C-alpha cells in the first residue's frame, strides 16, 4: 500500500489525525507507525500528526475513523495523548514536515485493538438489575483483556447497549463501576463473589454523596486537562492565550474557562 507524495497545498487539505503526547518524541516508532506528516517537539512532550487520504463524513467512515482514534488513544495511553481538533500549521519552521499523505490502514495496522464484545454478558441475566450487572461484568471483561478500563469505552458501550433506558441512569451505573475498580487498581474479584447488588454496594461503600464527590473531582480534573490542552494548542498556533480563545479550543463556556484559568494561575498550575 503506497504513500501519496503531495505538495504542501495538497497535504493541507487532507484529513488529519493530530495529537499532543508526552514523551521523548519517538514512541510512535515502537508501534511501527510511519513517520508523522508533522512532528514538533514541545515542552514536556511533542505534537505528531498524520495526513490521511480519505473522506470520513459518512456513518461508516466516522465509525472507521473513530475506531482508529480509540485504538490510538489506548495504544499510547502511557503518553497521555490528546487529540487536537484543528489541523497543524504547515508553515511552522520549528516543526518537521514530512510531505506524505497516508492511507488509514497504514496508520492503524500497528495499533492495539479495541474490545470487540457487542452484547451484554449472559452472566448478567440472573440478576435483578440487569443493566448494572451487565456493565459491571463487561468492565471485568475489559480488565481481563487490557488490564484497565477506559471510562469512555465503557460508557459508550453501555449507552449503545441500553438505548431504551435513561442515559443519566446508565452513566451513573458506569461511574459507580468504574470508580470501584479504579480504587482497587483494576484488580478483578473472584467470579461469583456477589449474589445480589446489595452485597456489591456494601463492599464497595459507594454512597450517593461519595459518588457525587468523586464525579465532581473527576470533572474538575478533566476540565483542567482540557484547559491545559487548549493552551498548548493556542501556543502552538502562536495565538493569544485569552479566555475566549481558551474556551473555544477547550470546548467549554467562557465562564468555565475564566474560572479555571484564575484558579490554576493562583495555584501555580500553569507555566
- 40 vs 96: CA distance, rounded Å: 6
d(C-alpha 229, C-alpha 246), whole Å = 9
Report yes or no: 79 and 39 within 8 Å, Cβ to Cβ: no
Secondary structure E strands in 26-73: 38-42, 45-52
Please write the tens of the pLDDT for every residue from 76-117.
888 888 888 888 988 888 999 988 999 988 888 888 876 544
Place of cell 464525579: 215
Q: Over the stretch 174-215, which tens digit does the pLDDT of each residue have?
A: 998 888 888 887 887 654 555 555 555 555 555 555 666 777
What's the pLDDT score for residue 47? 94
**Interacting residues of 101 by C-beta distance below 8 A, sequence separation 6+:** 3, 4, 6, 10, 11, 14, 37, 51, 52, 53
Specify the pLDDT at position 200: 53
CA atoms within 13 A on the CB side of 196: 3
User: pTM of the entire structure?
Assistant: 0.43
Grid cell, residue 60, equals: 461508516
Amino acid at each position: 500500500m503506497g504513500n501519496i507524495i503531495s505538495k504542501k497545498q495538497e497535504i493541507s487539505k487532507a484529513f488529519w489525525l493530530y495529537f499532543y503526547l508526552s514523551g521523548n518524541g519517538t514512541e510512535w516508532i515502537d508501534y511501527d507507525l510511519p513517520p508523522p506528516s508533522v512532528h514538533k517537539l514541545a515542552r514536556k512532550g511533542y505534537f505528531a500528526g498524520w495526513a490521511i487520504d480519505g473522506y470520513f463524513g459518512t456513518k461508516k467512515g466516522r465509525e472507521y475513523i473513530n475506531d482508529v482514534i480509540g485504538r490510538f488513544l489506548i495504544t499510547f495511553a502511557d503518553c497521555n495523548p490528546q487529540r487536537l481538533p484543528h489541523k497543524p500549521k504547515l508553515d511552522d519552521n520549528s516543526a518537521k514536515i514530512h510531505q506524505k499523505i497516508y492511507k488509514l490502514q497504514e496508520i492503524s495496522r500497528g495499533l492495539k485493538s479495541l474490545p470487540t464484545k457487542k452484547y451484554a454478558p449472559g452472566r448478567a441475566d440472573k440478576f435483578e438489575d440487569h443493566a448494572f450487572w451487565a456493565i459491571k461484568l463487561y468492565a471485568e471483561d475489559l480488565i481481563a483483556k487490557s488490564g484497565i478500563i477506559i471510562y469512555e469505552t465503557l460508557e459508550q458501550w453501555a449507552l449503545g447497549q441500553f438505548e431504551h433506558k435513561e442515559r443519566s441512569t446508565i452513566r451513573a451505573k458506569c461511574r459507580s463501576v468504574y470508580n470501584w475498580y479504579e480504587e482497587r487498581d483494576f484488580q478483578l474479584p473472584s467470579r461469583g463473589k456477589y449474589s445480589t447488588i446489595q452485597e456489591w454496594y456494601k463492599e464497595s461503600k459507594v454512597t450517593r454523596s461519595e459518588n457525587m464527590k468523586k464525579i465532581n473531582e473527576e470533572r474538575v480534573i478533566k476540565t483542567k486537562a482540557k484547559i491545559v490542552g487548549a493552551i498548548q494548542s493556542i501556543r502552538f498556533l502562536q495565538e493569544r492565550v485569552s479566555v475566549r480563545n481558551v474556551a473555544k479550543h477547550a470546548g467549554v463556556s467562557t465562564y468555565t474557562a475564566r474560572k479555571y484559568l484564575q484558579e490554576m494561575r493562583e495555584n501555580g498550575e500553569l507555566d
